[in-house]
């Protein structure tokens, strides 16, 4: 688990930076990215693992395709694993983020 972010007096982080340093609730991600009643498929330990493409809203697959081809290329593009779901959530909710820094990271 990452260390908590410590800010100096007068220092401010963007919503994106705060989001990167926290672990959002998987139910919150699923509520924005999935059709009602759907959510994460769980792994063998019972932890959220991926969102099935068939369960996504119309907006989520659009942003996921953009992310696959332009932001963080990958060879597997059907379902959204947790890291990709976090990225698509940031895009869907129009979170202010530094895309150049994301791509370089």
* 21-68 pLDDT, tens digit each: 677 789 999 999 999 999 999 999 999 999 999 999 999 988 888 877
- Is it the case that residue 4 has pLDDT exceeding 60? no
Are 40 and 26 in contact by the 8 Å Cβ rule? The answer is yes
Element containing residue 41 per DSSP (H, E): strand 41-42
Tokens at 58, concatenated: 């119309």
What pLDDT, on the 0 to 100 scale, is given for residue 34?
A: 95
Taking the C-alpha atoms of residue 98 and residue 4, their distance in angstroms, rounded to an integer, is 21
- Look at the chain and count its residues: 105
What pLDDT, on the 0 to 100 scale, is given for residue 33?
A: 94
Tally of domains in the chain: 1
Domain that holds residue 23: 15-96
User: pTM for the full model?
Assistant: 0.71
Residue 73 lies in a domain: yes
Are 87 and 72 in contact by the 8 Å Cβ rule? The answer is yes
Residue 69 lies in a domain: yes
Residue 6 lies in a domain: no
Task: Specify the DSSP class assigned to residue 71.
Answer: I
Q: In what order do the strands lie in the sheet with 41-42?
A: 41-42, 48-51, 80-81
pLDDT band for 5, please (50, 70, 90 cuts).
low
């Amino acid at each position: 688990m990452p260390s908590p972010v410590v800010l100096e007096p007068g220092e401010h982080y963007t919503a994106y930076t705060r989001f990167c340093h926290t672990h959002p609730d998987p139910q919150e991600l699923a509520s924005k990215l999935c059709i009602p009643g759907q959510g994460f498929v769980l792994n063998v330990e019972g932890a959220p693992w991926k969102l099935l493409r068939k369960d996504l809203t119309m907006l989520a697959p659009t942003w996921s395709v953009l992310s696959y081809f332009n932001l963080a290329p990958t060879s597997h593009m059907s379902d959204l694993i947790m890291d990709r779901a976090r990225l698509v959530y940031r895009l869907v909710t129009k979170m202010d983020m530094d895309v150049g820094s994301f791509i370089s990271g």
